[in-house]
Amino acid sequence: MSEPIRYRPDWTYTGTTFVPFCRQQDNGDFVRYEEYAKLRAHVERLTKAGDAMAEQLDGLSFDTVWDFWNAAKEGKQS
């Protein structure tokens, strides 16, 4: 997953008043809520997948787990 777009607060002058807005910036402190929600869902999916994998591998020998890991890295199903 790519790095989320970050923002920092800023102000613009409309001729009569200052109006707040967010400016896109690489080192900004804020991420849009939608992007944060996507990242959070992605982390949750990965956590569930890791937990499921750990349950399947529980009690297996190190060599079997290592073979399973290498197959997963190559995109193969066991």
Q: What residue segments make up the domains of the chain, in order of their start?
A: 1-31, 33-78
Q: Give CA–CA dist 6/27, Å, rounded.
A: 7
Q: Is the pTM of this model over 0.85?
A: no
pLDDT tens-digit series, residues 6-64: 777 777 777 787 777 677 777 777 777 788 888 888 888 888 888 887 787 777 787 88
71: tokens are 């197959």
CA dihedral 25, 29, 35, 40 (to 10 degrees): 150
Across 63-70, average pLDDT: 79
Residue showing tokens 């890295």? 73
Token representation of residue 30: 């804020």
> So what's the pLDDT on residue 1?
58
Mean pLDDT across 3-7: 77
Angle at 72 between CA 51 and CA 36, to 5 degrees: 55
**pLDDT at residue 76, rounded to an integer:** 63
**Whole-number CA gyration radius for the chain:** 22
